[in-house]
Amino acid sequence: MELTPDLLLRAYAVGIFPMAESRREDEIHWIDPELRGIIPLAEFHVPKRLRRRVRRNEFRVTADAAFGEVIAGCAEPTADRPDTWINPTIEALYADLADMGFAHSIECWLGTELVGGLYGVALGGAFFGESMFTRVTDASKVALVHLVLRLRLGGFKLLDTQFITPHLAQFGAVEIRREQYRHLLAEAVPVQAQFPRQVSQAQLERFLYTQAVRTDAVGGRRR
């Protein structure tokens, strides 16, 4: 079966996503895990130290400005991750999805240097986070904050992280069973959400303020 952008979108719509065994392998596997990672958008948590860093605007953050560079950054080997599931076929397919308006990226820059980012697929009101990378401390975390801000502003209902990692758990990621995930997906896909490329500083500040208020309220209930 030929792997096409249309087939990818139909797979995402029913909860299945592709991965390669490694960057050097041509074969693509379809993944449908029993436990699925998601970040509930209403419960997204930004740690206090990270909120301060986002407010300092150390990075210039853009959306959909360098999709190809972002996916290449996610595919490159690192000391902690010597191999990756993103092979050239996947790179090309997601670039096609970006050209079609279904895949999006968030970029973090220091001057003209791309130092971190992430990418994923938007289908209706569901966003499927695919991968992220960082070359400077916290760059991918700042990218995630900017992604969630855009998803909330755009009316998205579901942020699928596929799996759970300690990196994502600090932001409120949880695991749910396949049946519950499919229910949430079926509710989200028909939603007419929009992915905003531009956000204002006022929108960012308001988002971070609500994060601080929510964190304080949760802490108060625990005491």
Strand partners, 140: none
pLDDT tens for 96-146 read 999 999 999 999 999 999 999 999 999 999 999 999 999 999 999 999 999
Q: Which domain holds residue 30?
A: 5-217
Residue 220 banded pLDDT, cuts 50, 70, 90: very low
| pLDDT of amino acid 216 | 65
Please name the residues in contact with 14: beta carbons below 8 A apart, sequence gap of 6 or more: 182, 185
CATH number at residue 77: 3.40.630.70
Q: Decide if 122 contacts 195 (C-beta within 8 A).
A: yes
| pLDDT of amino acid 21 | 72
Mean of per-residue pLDDT scores for the chain: 91
- pTM score, two decimals? 0.93
Is residue 222 in some structural domain? no
Kindly report the backbone phi and psi dihedral angles of residue 219, in degrees, each rounded to the nearest multiple of 5, phi listed first: -60, -40
Is residue 223 in some structural domain? no
Q: How far apart are CA 51 and CA 212, in angstroms?
A: 8
Show the 3-state SS of the chain.
CCCCHHHHHHHHHCCCEEEECCCCCCCEEEECCCEEEECCHHHCCCCHHHHHHHHCCCCEEEECCCHHHHHHHHHCCCCCCCCCCCCHHHHHHHHHHHHHCCEEEEEEEECCEEEEEEEEEEECCEEEEEEEEECCCCHHHHHHHHHHHHHHHHCCCEEEEECCCHHHHCCCCEEEEHHHHHHHHHHHCCCCCCCCCCCCHHHHHHHHHHHHHHHHHHHHHHC
Is residue 19 in some structural domain? yes
Residue 205 banded pLDDT, cuts 50, 70, 90: very high
Is residue 46 in some structural domain? yes
pLDDT tens for 164-201 read 988 899 999 999 999 999 999 999 999 999 999 999 99
The upper half-sphere exposure of residue 45, i.e. CA atoms within 13 Å in the direction of its Cβ, equals 16
Lowest mean pLDDT among 73-87, 134-148, 208-222: 208-222
Residue 2 banded pLDDT, cuts 50, 70, 90: confident
| pLDDT of amino acid 192 | 96
Q: Domain count for the chain, please give it.
A: 1
Kindly report the backbone phi and psi dihedral angles of residue 63, in degrees, each rounded to the nearest multiple of 5, phi listed first: -130, 135
